[in-house]
Structure 1
Amino acid sequence: MVPELEAYKEYALVSAVAAHRGISFEQVEQLPYGNFMASIGYLHHQARYQHEIQSLMKQRNGH
C-alpha cells in the first residue's frame, strides 16, 4: 500500500480509538506532544491502546 494511505489508515484507526475512549479532538490538541498528529502518534504507542487498535484492524480486514 502507498505509504500515505497506510499513514491515513493508521491515523483513522487511532482517531477512532481515541474517540471511543472519550478523547476529543480539542483534548488531544492540548496534550503536550506538539500537534494533533504527534499526539495521535503518542496515543498509538500507549500499550493500553495497542490491543484495541489491533482488534479494529482485524475487524476491518475481516478476520
Structure 2
Amino acid sequence: MVLDEDEPRIRADRSYFARSFVNDTFPADGAVESQWTLGEIVTTLIGAGFTLRHLAEYPEPF
C-alpha cells in the first residue's frame, strides 16, 4: 500500500477507539503504539485536579 504522506486521511484499518495499533510507517517499522481518546485524556486531567479553561479543535490535520 502506497500512501501520500502529505494527504490528510482517516485510515480505515485503524480504529479511533482501539487501545493500541502497530505503526507500519517509517521509522516506527512495527512499533506497537498505545492510544487514548480525547475524552479519556481530558477526564484524566480534570480528575487529577487540573482546571480546564478552554478546549478547542481545528479542522487542520496536524
TM-score normalised to the size of structure 1?
0.28
Structure number with larger C-alpha Rg: 2
Looking at secondary structure, tell me which structure has more strand per residue.
2
Task: Write 1 or 2 for the structure with the bigger share of helix.
Answer: 1
